[in-house]
Amino acid sequence: MKKPLELLPAVARAFVKDMRAFFAETNPIKRDEIAVRQLRALQPLQGPREKKLRLSDVYELFLQMQHHAAGHDR
């Protein structure tokens, strides 16, 4: 069984901050830049045998987490 990923609080906060910025941004190029920043932040956290994370995966993470994170403002 695979051990669940535990993110450092700073990494998790940066993800949520970028996710909110992503959805607030109307310029598609700037949205891509935000997603690329998170792609680069998350890639080092991947295990060597995991499928390589792609930009489309980050978009999907943002979409899946959008409503979940909205209820956890600090």
Type of residue at 22: F
The domain locations on the chain are: 24-44+52-74
pLDDT of residue 69: 65
Q: Estimate to the nearest angstrom the gap between the alpha carbon of 68 and the chain centroid.
A: 13
For residues 22 and 69, what is the distance between their CA atoms, to the nearest angstrom? 13
* Stretch 8-27: mean pLDDT: 92
For residues 28 and 22, what is the distance between their CA atoms, to the nearest angstrom? 9
Q: Lowest-confidence range among 10-14, 17-21, 56-60?
A: 10-14
pLDDT of residue 47: 84
pTM of the predicted structure, to 2 decimals: 0.78
> pLDDT tens across 21-73, in order?
999 999 999 999 999 999 999 998 888 898 999 999 999 999 998 877 666 55
Q: Which residue has the higher pLDDT, 60 or 12?
A: 60
